[in-house]
Amino acid sequence: MRHIADELEQANVGNVWVDEPLAKHTTWRIGGPADLLIQPTDKEALIRAVQIIHHHNLPWIAIGRGSNLLVRDRGIRGAVFKVAQGLSHCEFEGNKVRVGAGYSMVRLTVEAGKRGLTGLEFAGGIPGSVGGAVYMNAGAHGSDLSRILISAEILFEDGETKVLSNEELQFSYRTSLLQERKGIVMEATLQLQPGDRKEVAASLARFKDRRLKTQPFTSPCAGSVFRNPPGDHAGRLIEACGLKGYTVGGAQISEMHANFIVNRGGATATDVLTVIEHARSTIKEKFQVDLHTEVLVIGEG
């Protein structure tokens, strides 16, 4: 991998690491090493890097801020693109915003609120980046990104870039086309609406207060672990089975919110997956409901 890393560095694509522990780059603080970790400086650098990786026929995956992600303990073979600061531009044009994939969703929500724009309040507690939010159609409080997204610029694995409309991205609950066709979000354009600045601020404050009281973001976690089944909530089902506090190694079902698994210190991906499987099988046995993970599980066990 060193010779490919040297080629990437000579192409001036940004930061390149060899055998980098991904525990340093995920909000769960869990994950084995990536053969190559690449953090591009801008869109052009990302395109050059993808072309080099494609030329060497290396497998790859893209991550953002590392939320909603579990990297297995043996890490990832091939390349990982970390889409972060290099793609973090943000431009408001009237009621629209054009924003880079590496931009923080929380920060974007705050910036929109300062301008008296409404439509993003649901995302005030989503800890990830814009790119990840597009990829998984992130949502909360009864809304999601598909309701405000106009289009997104996508880089496909052969180096082709294309702007896809909302319809072309084929959004549904926590899914998009990008979970079927491999590509990297580079930029998104969102349609917001004029609102009352004080009302938007009050709404954000209510959501923030609710999160602080009900979600364990003071401990390393990845956000909600399971998708909500139709007509119910995964957290309610897990709590109803008495699983709050259930622990394997360093991984524990949160005492605060049953749809969160926290890293109490030294948790491995195997610990987390064991907790996930126990919750799944328990819910299936008691309620005959199949729970599906919302977090993306990647890498080698």
Helix (H, G, I), strand (E, B) or coil at 113: helix
Which of the 8 DSSP states describes residue 23? G
For 201, the token pair is: 């601020």
Residues 6+ apart with CB under 8 A from 143: 122
CA–CA separation, 237 and 229 (whole Å) = 10
224 is an active site residue: yes
User: Do residues 243 and 279 lie in contact, with contact meaning Cβ atoms separated by under 8 Å?
Assistant: yes
- The catalytically annotated residue of 29, 65, 72, 174 is 174
- The catalytically annotated residue of 151, 176, 224, 254 is 224
Q: How far is CA 265 from the centre of its chain?
A: 22
CA–CA separation, 45 and 203 (whole Å) = 38
107 is an active site residue: no
294 is an active site residue: yes
- The catalytically annotated residue of 20, 121, 153, 294 is 294
Closest CA to 75 of 41, 110, 24, 124: 24
Which residues are catalytic, by number? Answer: 174, 224, 294
